Amino acid sequence: MRTEIATLGEFGLIRHLTEGIKPSNKSTKYSIGDDAAVLSYPADKEILITTDLLLEGVHFDLTYVPLKHLGYKSAVVNFSDIYAMNGTPRQITVSIGLSKRFCIEDMEALYAGIRLACEEYGVDIVGGDTSSSLTGLTISITCIGEGEKGKVVYRNGAKETDLICVSGDLGAAYMGLQLLEREKAALRGKGEDVQPDFAGKEYLLERQLKPEARRDIIQKLHEAGIVPTAMMDISDGLSSELLHICTQSHVGCRVYEEHIPIDYQTAVMAEEFNMNLTTCALNGGEDYELLFTVPITDHEKIQDMEGVKLIGHITKPELGCALITRDGQEFELKAQGWNPLKDEKDANPPVE
């Protein structure tokens, strides 16, 4: 079924998509329907703001990304940024630009994904903008969250001897992307009824198509009484993010190859693609795991935490940032993460 968007118009479409949305957060005082949303936060909270712009053909490929998944992911990547400040996401605004190629049912699917993510994470949709575009789909989401005063965690607080930790495992989302790209190329011209076989690779696809933000880790850190000295989420690859933390904190680091958490499916796929597994884990993007540093005095607490791995430690700045390989060699860490402005024709993470 395909209903043209023109039948509803801008206000009609917004009303249709946001129907039945009820704010669940106390801090949401007035949501959709006025010149601005009105929020009210208590004085002991700091307010966190993050925003992401997603453009068709650059950040997503609708030939293999279902719109509902895209909506879910668009919201979750913003939540991830708020958790990475040791905060809690509370509201989002959703702006969408869409060409005539899209119909109301498409927008319903996209919005269903956004609304599902908001339900899962307890976030309110409080506003946005909807417009036609001449080409493709544009999604711009801004997320507002809260952090306890004095407990917001920045990138610039890592100190010498701090332990470097990472949640979950790395490289799987990137492998999922490679897999989807390969199937897309293989299926081209074979007709629409050919279904690719992804058996045994579900985890990779899920990591790419439906990532989750690590609210659980923030909760565990809170329960364990640990406030990281620095933290960020891994969206452009571990190397790139580690360099951000080290640059902003004016420190160096040592990371151990053998400790970088990698899932079995990621390893199998890297071999299948004849790619260096560590490079994938270091430079593959879109993991949305948390990278953080804690004081060495938290060593015992953190080493037993499920879902967290110690991968190295912070050093004096003079020592630079290096990876220690399994055979004991030191390699300088370089940011080879995803850079959507470096070269438009090759928007995927360069992996050597």
Subset of residues 20 to 79 that bind its own copies, contact rule: CB under 8 A: 29-30, 33-43, 46-53, 55-59
Contact region with its own copies (CB under 8 A), list: 61-69, 209-217, 231-239, 268-276: 231-239
End-to-end alpha-carbon separation of the chain, Å?
44
Total chain residues near its own copies (CB under 8 A):
79
What minimum distance in Å lies between the beta carbon of 171 and its own copies? 21
Nearer to its own copies, 91 or 265 (CB): 91
* Reduced 3-state DSSP string for 141-166: EEEEEEEECCCCCCCCCCCCCCEEEE
* 347 near its own copies, rule: CB under 8 A: yes
- The correct pick among 15, 26, 100, 334 for binding its own copies (CB under 8 A) is 100
Task: Specify burial of residue 218 (Cβ count, 10 A radius: 0-12, 13-18, 19+).
Answer: buried
Closest separation in Å from C-beta 351 to its own copies: 17
Query: Judged by CB under 8 A, which stretch of 120-128, 178-186, 280-288, 296-304 contacts its own copies?
Result: 120-128
> In which residue are the tokens 């290096």 written?
322
Q: What Cα–Cα distance (Å) separates residue 99 from each residue in 66, 68, 80, 103, 106?
A: 17, 17, 29, 9, 11
- Return the number of the residue (73 or 201) whose C-beta is nearest its own copies: 73
Closest distance of CB 162 from its own copies, Å: 17
For the bound state, the minimum distance from the C-beta of residue 255 to its own copies, rounded and expressed in Å, comes to 20
Q: Could you say whether residue 84 binds its own copies (CB under 8 A)?
A: yes
Cβ neighbours for 297, distance < 8 A, ≥ 6 positions apart: none
Chain centroid to CA 93: 17
CB of 83 closer than 8 Å to CB of 290: yes
Residue 126 within binding range of its own copies, rule CB under 8 A: yes
Q: Which of residues 243-262 bind its own copies (CB under 8 A)?
A: 248
Helix (H, G, I), strand (E, B) or coil at 68: helix
Which residue in 191, 193, 341, 352 binds its own copies (CB under 8 A)?
Answer: 341
- Tell me the C-alpha distance between 310 and 171, whole Å: 17
Q: Does 136 participate in binding its own copies (rule CB under 8 A)?
A: yes
**Amino acid making up residue 297:** T
Applying CB under 8 A, which of residues 67, 75, 82, 311 lies at the interface with its own copies? 82
Q: Do 309 and 243 meet the contact criterion of CB atoms below 8 Å apart?
A: no
**Helix, strand, or coil (residue 301):** helix
Q: Which of 67, 172, 232, 255 binds its own copies (CB under 8 A)?
A: 232
CB of 193 to its own copies, least distance (A): 29
- Smaller CB distance to its own copies: residue 37 or 172? 37
Distance CA 99, CA 18 (A): 20
Write each residue from 161 to 200 as x if it is in contact with its own copies (CB under 8 A), else as -, in one continuous string: ----------------------------------------
Q: Choose between 93 and 265: whose C-beta lies nearer to its own copies.
A: 93
Element (H, E) at 106: helix 104-121
Q: Tell me whether residue 145 or residue 349 sits nearer to its own copies (CB atom).
A: 145
Binders of its own copies among residues 148 to 167 (CB under 8 A) are 149, 152, 154-156
Cβ 25 vs Cβ 39: under 8 Å:
no
CA distance 285 to 244: 15
Residues numbered 279-338 forming contacts with its own copies, rule: CB under 8 A: none
Which residues, including other chains, have CB under 8 Å from residue 55's CB and lie 6 or more apart? 136, 137, 138
- 18, 25, 74, 138: residue in contact with its own copies (rule CB under 8 A): 138
Contacts of 42 (CB under 8 A, 6+ apart): none
Stretch that binds its own copies, among 84-92, 190-198, 260-268, 271-279 (CB under 8 A): 84-92
**215 φ, ψ to 5°?**
-55, -35
